[in-house]
Amino acid sequence: MIFLEWMVALPESVSDYYDEQMETLQEETTMTYISSFERKAMEKGVAQGSLSILLKLLNHRFGELDQAALEKLHDASPEQLERWAENILDAQTLEEVLTLH
């Protein structure tokens, strides 16, 4: 906004309108600051939620999971969990879920 005001000299007749519009825009687009700690905590929460849902789906479809599968799931990235969740739709076995890309 300051840059625009510096570059363009508005006529007095539209200056008040411009000020009102800029104030409205600033109020509408104000973003809440999220610290890096909060952002990481939110990402971790999303990943934990994805893992939890995937575990429920896998247990429902294939029965109780063995320790190796559980470890693989707990060590997976959020992107990998998402791919495996998609694999559930086509895979016939747990091994297929965890290997298909």
Distance CA 1, CA 26 (A): 10
| pLDDT tens for the 101 residues of the chain, in order | 555 555 666 677 777 887 888 788 777 776 667 788 888 888 888 888 899 999 999 999 999 999 999 999 999 999 999 999 999 999 999 999 998 66
**DSSP code of residue 30:** -
CA–CA distances in Å: residue 95 to residues 58, 62, 66, 100: 11, 10, 11, 8
Question: Which residues have CB under 8 Å from 76's CB, separation 6+?
Answer: 51, 84
pLDDT of the residue at 53 = 93
Distance, CA of 47 to chain centre? 9
pLDDT of the residue at 45 = 85
pLDDT of the residue at 51 = 93
